[in-house]
């Protein structure tokens, strides 16, 4: 029988990389809701490490410092394995800039309790409001009879409750993906093994991606993430790998994903800085994905 997610069975894993001064407040909000929190730092500069150590000492949490940036996937795997070694059954993965609601864990636990087959739940993700705009990522139509949960193909890494039992059964996050598409690949792999990916219906965190800016085109508002050329490389390369490995199992989701990705590339070309370099990095990523080059750092 799967242990239900409770304060005592959950360890939060937060990956940091040059965090800002608001880290302590954000970490404190999650420590109140879980049994333990571990920060895995990916080679931040010394001033940031000092800040992190102060947070760790004040809140009584655990720190795993990496000498260099080993990527989001590797850092998450390190954190999950540490939590498993301490006897925790669930891990709540979080980005360093995600701000959680006071009832986040209670809302996620409600999803587990109300889902008809909780033993098949591999990941329970968090619906969220976009940082800046306040727009809810997924919202039901007004008047809809809202269930606490929604079954979905993929959810964000940040705000995801991961079953350690499933993690050990299907393998961890893919180190060679480094940063982008890490969450999508893990969710699709879990589904391929017969598990389910769920999401809270209510937004329980505030989350932003990249350095978002809003632009107008043909009378409509569009947002761009302004990710670096290196991130554009990883998105392109890892997207090709997703298509190659999951097209048969998830054709509908991949069609939607590729359509969304194509639109984002148009917006990059129209509005973002370094657009030529980003297009070149994207092209290189596509080629490496097609050729099966999977160096974890894109070189």
CATH architecture of the domain with residue range 7-207: Alpha-Beta Complex (3.90)
Whether 141 has a pLDDT exceeding 90, the answer reads no
- Domain ranges for the chain: 7-207, 213-291
- The H-assigned helical ranges of the chain are 23-31, 46-59, 72-85, 104-114, 164-170, 182-192, 229-246, 251-271, 275-291
Confidence check: pLDDT of 195 > 90: yes
Q: Which residues contact 267 (CB under 8 A, 6 or more apart)?
A: 215, 217, 222, 224
User: For 12-66, how does the pLDDT look when each residue is reduced to its tens digit (9 = 90+)?
Assistant: 999 999 999 999 999 999 999 999 999 999 999 999 999 999 999 999 999 999 9
Q: Tell whether the model's pLDDT for residue 298 goes beyond 60.
A: no
79, HSE (Cβ side, Cα atoms, 13 Å): 34
CA-wise closest residue to 73 among 162, 175, 180: 175
* Cβ-contact 222, 214 below 8 angstroms: yes
Q: 106-140: per-residue pLDDT in tens?
A: 999 999 999 999 999 999 999 999 887 788 988 76
pLDDT over 90 at 6, yes or no: yes
What pLDDT is stored for residue 73 in this prediction? Answer: 96
pTM summary value: 0.93
> Tokens 């309790």 identify what position?
113
């Amino acid at each position: 029988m799967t242990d239900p997610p409770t304060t005592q069975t959950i360890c939060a894993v937060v990956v940091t990389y040059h965090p800002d001064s608001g880290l302590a407040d954000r970490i404190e909000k999650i420590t109140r809701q879980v049994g333990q929190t571990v920060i895995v730092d990916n080679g931040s500069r010394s001033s940031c490490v000092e800040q992190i150590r102060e947070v760790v000492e004040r809140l009584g949490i655990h720190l795993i410092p990496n000498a260099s940036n080993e990527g989001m996937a590797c850092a998450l795997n390190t954190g999950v394995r540490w939590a498993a070694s301490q006897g925790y059954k669930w891990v709540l993965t979080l980005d360093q800039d995600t701000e959680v609601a006071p009832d986040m864990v209670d809302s996620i636990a409600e999803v587990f309790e109300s889902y008809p087959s909780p033993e098949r739940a591999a990941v329970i993700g968090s619906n969220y409001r976009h940082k800046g705009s306040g727009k809810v990522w997924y919202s039901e139509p007004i008047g809809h009879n809202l269930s606490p949960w929604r079954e979905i193909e993929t959810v964000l890494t940040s705000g995801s409750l991961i079953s350690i039992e499933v993690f050990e059964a299907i393998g961890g996050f893919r180190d060679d993906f480094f940063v982008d598409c890490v969450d999508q690949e893990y969710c699709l792999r879990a589904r391929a093994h017969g598990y389910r990916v769920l999401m809270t219906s209510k937004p329980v965190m505030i989350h932003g991606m990249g350095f978002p800016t809003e632009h107008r085109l043909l009378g409509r508002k569009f947002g761009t993430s302004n990710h670096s050329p290196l991130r554009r490389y990883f998105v392109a390369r890892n997207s090709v790998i997703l298509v190659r490995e999951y097209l048969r199992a998830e054709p509908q989701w991949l069609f939607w994903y590729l359509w969304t990705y194509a639109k984002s590339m148009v917006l990059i070309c129209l509005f973002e800085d370094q657009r030529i370099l980003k297009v070149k990095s994207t092209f290189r990523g596509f080629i490496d994905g097609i050729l099966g080059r999977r160096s974890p750092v894109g070189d």
